[in-house]
Amino acid sequence: MLGLMQDWPLLLHRIIDHAAIQHGGREVVSRAVEDGGLRRTTYARIRERALACAKRLTREGVKAGDRVATLAWNTERHLELWYGVSGVGAITHTVNPRLFPEQIAWIIDHAQDRMLFLDLTFVPLAERIAARLPSIERYVVLTDTAHMPETSLKGAVAFEEWLAESDADFVWAAVDENAAAGLCYTSGTTGGPKGVLYSHRSNVLHALACATPDFLGLSSRDTVLPVVPLFHANSWSLAYSAPMTGAKLVMPGAKLDGPSLLELLESEGVTLTAAVPTVWLGLLQHLETKGASLSTLKRVVIGGSACPRAMTEAFETKYGVTVSHAWGMTEMSPIGSFCSIKPAYAHLEGDALYDLKVKQGHPPFTVEFRLTDDAGVDQPWDGATQGRLKVRGPSVASAYFRREDEPILDDRGFFDTGDVGTIDPGGYLQITDRSKDVIKSGGEWISSIELENVAVGHPDVLEAAVIGVPHPKWDERPLLVIVPKPGRTPAREAVLAFMSGKVAKWQIPDDMVLVEAIPHTATGKIQKTALREMFRDYRLPA
Ligand code: AMP
């Protein structure tokens, strides 16, 4: 027997409709890509312009199932387009501009995108690769006529001019809630990048799950600054969960440096912000140099790569800001877990609290975990046994775009994340490594993440990375690579001595080298492949 409740498909346009009706006057503030100034609009106005976008897209011939690409920063225009595209049943393909031009050309071609909307910043890049983008019929620059550059891009027009030919007299497309709405490619360190195709339903459920109190915990009283870009897997749901809850949005545009972020955090009264650790490194350094404080910020969400314990402690003890360590991946829309404090741990303080907060946390409803060994045998949740982390849920990929016949799920429908970790009896996940980065020493696994976390706590260390290097007896041993703080030259012995007692003796790196910079991927993670390449000829001291 079926229930007798209404059939109300979970479509993304309902989010912006709700924001406009219930929180219509709530502001969306953006740093303009043109001149760095601030532009102000509201959810009501964003909805109107999203409807106009949808109507204009229809006139361009864009229809349900078509892909529309963006190469764009977080701004209100990107958001209008984001809702406009899914509002006609088409698919927003947010392209990560930090990828190599060859990869960008490859994925736009692979996705067969029909139009490309791009910020001024990326016009030269698009011109360079345009000849390799035969599927793109028209380019729209996310600016106004006054700032429109001379360009050879096909049919190029300024977004404001393009939109001015339209109006909000449009009815959102009534597509199935399982219809595709968004496309994001993983950075693809091995093989070509892989496309993750989100649906209306998966994104709505993900945003709902993320908004709950143990996770993003958003309310209409919050002011949210998503530093994490729309092109990094739906800005960790914030472009949906903020309007869904009526939180004010502050979009940082192209300026993600410490001083620019601090200015926005303070001038707009931001209460919650989210980004990868490297961004926060920049902000913390700036705060320290300036002797500044954070007067309104309550919570910072840190994920995308492991949040070092020292970073959590700095935010919490020096600035009174609560850190939520989050883990996830493009294939999960992307959030998989959040480290919020369950009641059994509410009494923890000091070191014991930070021991917990260094973990990646527990999953929201809609995400299930499974831990197995290489043979697929379930491993105990004892906080010590490492295993391959597998996930299942309505916002987890079931296959990659245009590779639908390649199975990616195990016998029970779980997706192998490629991450290795432990789960403790309280249900908290701790990621110890990517399966390909874990250091295999004498049959034991050493977590590069754990070593990095400890090393970065040394007062002279700015950033740390650990890779495995060949060893005649142990197969691999850890090599610590560090970027020192400006003006410091920490000695190898001092840093290794600092680490001793904080990790097992046999896990202490065999050597340490200083570098000026550690390579990062397009999503801000330490690029272990590039680092291993840098140290290909390195030999451990005898
Ligand atoms: P991406 O799809 O680019 O977001 O990358 C996902 C991968 O980033 C995950 O599979 C992890 O290896 C890594 N990652 C994300 N968040 C964390 C975290 N909090 N700690 C450690 N690794 C993380």
Partner residues linked to 27 by β-bridges: 42
Which residue in this structure is represented by tokens 């490859």? 106
Q: How far is Cα 21 from Cα 347, in angstroms, rounded to an integer?
A: 41
Residues 135 and 265 in one domain: no
**Residue-range definition of the domain harbouring residue 296:** 256-436
Nearest residue (by CA) to ligand 1, atom 20, is: 306
Instruction: State the DSSP code for 148.
Output: P
Whether residues 373 and 405 share a domain: the answer is: yes
Same domain, 147 and 272: no
Its pTM stands at 0.91
Distance 184 CA to ligand 1 centre (A): 15
Domain membership flag for residue 211:
no
**515 and 412 in a common domain:** no
For 331-341, the pLDDT digits (tens) are 999 999 999 99
Paired sense of beta strands 429-434 and 415-423, if any: antiparallel
In a domain, 248, yes or no: no
- State how far the alpha carbon of 117 is from the alpha carbons of 85, 301, 333, 381, 437, in Å: 11, 29, 22, 46, 36
Handedness of CA 31, 35, 38, 44 (dihedral sign): negative
Residue 326 lies in a domain: yes
Question: Has residue 223 been placed in a domain?
Answer: no
Could you give the CA distance from residue 482 to residue 329 in angstroms, rounded to a whole number?
26
- pLDDT for 192: 74
Minimum CA distance residue for ligand 1 atom 10:
329
Reported as half-sphere exposure (CB side, CA atoms, 13 A), residue 165 has a value of 10
Atom of ligand 1 nearest to the CA of 186: 2
**Residue minimizing CA distance to atom 4 of ligand 1:** 329
The percent helix, strand, coil of the chain (3-state, each to 5) is 30, 25, 45
463 and 520 share one domain: yes
Ligand 1 center to residue 147 CA distance, Å?
37
Distance 327 CA to ligand 1 centre (A): 6
Q: Which residue of 329, 389, 466 sits with most ligand 1 atoms within 8 Å of its CB, as the best mutation to test the pocket?
A: 329
Judge whether 446 lies within some domain: yes
- Same domain, residue pair 81 and 47: yes
Give the other-Cβ count within 10 Å of 407's Cβ.
9
Distances (CA, A) of 44 to 184, 316, 327: 27, 36, 32
Residue 331 neighbours by CB under 8 Å, 6+ apart: 186, 196, 396, 397, 415, 417
Tell whether 371 and 263 lie within a shared domain.
yes
Spatial separation of the C-alpha atoms in residues 393 and 331, rounded to whole Å: 11
Q: Are residues 38 and 71 in the same domain?
A: yes
CATH of the domain at 268: 3.40.50.12780
d(CA 185, CA 37) in angstroms, rounded, equals 31
> 254: which residues sit within 8 A by CB, 6+ positions away?
31, 33, 73, 119, 121
Q: Please identify, among 388, 415, 436, the residue that sits at the C-terminal boundary of a domain.
A: 436
Statement to judge: residues 268 and 360 lie in one domain:
yes
pLDDT of res. 434:
87
Which residue of 231, 433, 525, 527 sits with most ligand 1 atoms within 8 Å of its CB, as the best mutation to test the pocket?
A: 525
Q: Which of 376, 409, 436 is the last residue of a domain?
A: 436
Is residue 253 within 8 A of residue 30, CB to CB? The reply is yes
Give the residue from 210, 231, 142 showing the smallest Cα distance to 523. Answer: 231
Can you say whether the dihedral through the CA atoms of 199, 204, 208, 211 is positive or negative? positive
Domain count, the chain: 3
CB atoms closer than 10 angstroms to residue 123: 21
| Angstrom distances, CA of residue 488 to CA of 458, 462, 514 | 11, 10, 11
Q: How many CB atoms lie within 10 A of CB 169?
A: 8
User: Where would I find the H helices in 292-373?
Assistant: 309-313, 319, 350-357
CB contact at 8 A, 163 and 52: yes
CATH of the domain at 450: 3.30.300.30
SS (H, E, C) 228-289: CCCCCCHHHHHHHHHHHHCCEEEECECCCCHHHHHHHHHHCCCCEEEECHHHHHHHHHHHHH
Protein residues with CB under 6 Å of any ligand 1 atom? 186-187, 233, 303-307, 325-330, 334, 360, 417-419, 431, 434, 523, 525
Which residue ranges in the chain fall short of pLDDT 50? none
Q: Which pLDDT value is given to residue 188?
A: 58
Q: Is residue 273 part of a domain?
A: yes
Give the side-chain half-sphere CA count within 13 A for 437: 28
25: left (phi over 0), alpha (psi -120 to 50) or beta: alpha
Q: In terms of domains, do 383 and 445 share one?
A: no
Can you read off the two tokens belonging to residue 270? Answer: 């931001």
Task: For ligand 1, atom 21, name the residue with the nearest CA.
Answer: 306
Q: Are residues 472 and 390 in the same domain?
A: no
SS3 104: helix
Residue 228 maps to a domain? no
Ligand 1 centroid – CA 174 distance (Å): 35
**pLDDT (0 to 100) of residue 472:** 87
233 is a domain residue: no
Q: Among residues 407, 436, 465, which one ends one of the domains?
A: 436
**Catalytic positions, please?**
186, 331, 440, 445
The 10 Å CB-count burial string (b at 16+, else e) for 205-217 is bbbbbbbbeebbb
How far CA 98 is from CA of 122, 265, 344, in Å, comes to 10, 24, 42
Q: What is the pLDDT of residue 541?
A: 86
Q: What distance in angstroms lies between residue 431's CA and the mean position of ligand 1's atoms? A: 9
Q: Quick one: pLDDT at residue 378?
A: 97
Question: In the sheet that 27-31 helps form, which strands lie side by side, from edge to edge?
Answer: 38-42, 27-31, 248-251, 223-226, 272-275, 299-302, 322-328, 335-338
Cα distance between residue 12 and residue 204, in whole Å: 6
Looking at residue 374, what is its pLDDT?
85
Which sign does the torsion angle of CA 361, 362, 367, 368 carry? positive
* Same domain? 282 vs 328: yes
Q: Which protein residue's CA is at the shortest distance from atom 23 of ligand 1?
A: 305
What does the pLDDT read at residue 445? 81
